[in-house]
Amino acid sequence: MSALSNRRTATVGAAAIVFVVVAVVAVVVGLRPGANPVRAEVSGTDTVTVTGVGTADAAPDTLTVDFTVHVTRGSVQEALDAQSAAAQRLLAALKAAGVPRDRTTTTDLQLDRHYDEHGNVTGYDAGETVRAEVRPLAHAGRAISRAATAAGDNVSVGGLSFDVANDDESVSTARANAFADARGRAQQYASLSGRGLGRVEKVTETVDTPSMPVPFYEHDAMLSARSAAPVPLRPGQQTLTVRVSVTWVLS
């Protein structure tokens, strides 16, 4: 064998030895204690997201009610003057019944032609709607009666609804119930998959605070001075609902 052939054989042999050594080192590094990058990545990305629902009952403490003044007069000026006077008596009655000015709001103002059965203009209709927020509820019946009779037969009442103005305690209770419900569901899913619950990654919530419209009297109709006694009201209970969506890391 020539000297050139001997050098080529030696070079190939050395390269093979180097390749074997690199392969052995790679195997040793891959099997060293504590080296498991794939499992670490999976444990950081496995999550479970569950929605829980919680409720709490609360007694309404606020009543919202609409009072509408409506008059018909022969001219625009007469209609506006009569409507303004009736509205002023209404607002004064509400104030006397314990409803401050900042809890009353004008929500509608109207001025229309008044027609007879033949389509002829016979006058003008003027109206104004005042929305009052009454609390405490102990004053609500008296406030309604006084305001409804303040302008005689020119006032109608409607749009009553009960609400909870101070619902912090109820929201806290419903939130705790919703989170407990979500945790129970998440623990079950984790157990079914052979895992455990780790830290919480994300929480979002939705609070439902329903308003309760209630009928007023039998006909929702005009009131007269003979209805001056305090109106009996039954606010009942409201159910406040909290929905939470919680994401846990699986351990």
> Does 174 score more than 70 pLDDT?
yes
Q: For residue 158, is pLDDT > 80? A: yes
Q: Which amino acid would we find at residue 8? A: R
Q: What is the mean pLDDT of residues 46-66?
A: 92
Residues in the chain: 251
221, pLDDT greater than 70: no
Would you say 96 and 90 are in contact if contact means Cβ atoms under 8 Å apart?
no
Q: Using H for helix, E for strand and C for coil, what is the string for the chain?
A: CCHHHHHHHHHHHHHHHHHHHHHHHHHHHHCCCCCCHHHHHHHHHCEEEEEEEEEEEECCCEEEEEEEEEEEECCHHHHHHHHHHHHHHHHHHHHHCCCCHHHEEEEEEEEEEEECCCCCEEEEEEEEEEEEEECCHHHHHHHHHHHHHHCHHHEEEEEEEEECCCCHHHHHHHHHHHHHHHHHHHHHHHHHCCCCEEEEEEEEEEEECCCEECCCCCCCCECCHHHCCCCCCCCCCEEEEEEEEEEEEEC
- pLDDT for the residue 212: 52
Report the b/e string of 18-36 with b at 16+ CB within 10 A. Answer: eeeeeeeeeeeeeeeeeee
Q: Quick check: 9 pLDDT over 50? A: no
- With CA atoms as reference, report the closest residue to 125 among 115, 144, 111, 145: 111
The reply to whether omega before 136 is within 30° of 0 (cis) is: yes
Contacts (Cβ under 8 Å, ≥6 apart) of 199: 248, 249
Question: pLDDT higher for 222 or 137?
Answer: 137
Mean pLDDT lowest among 20-24, 107-111, 188-192: 20-24
Instruction: Quote the pTM value.
Output: 0.60
pLDDT (tens digit per residue) in 68-98 = 999 999 999 999 999 999 999 999 999 998 8
Phi, psi at residue 36, to the nearest 5°?
A: -150, 65
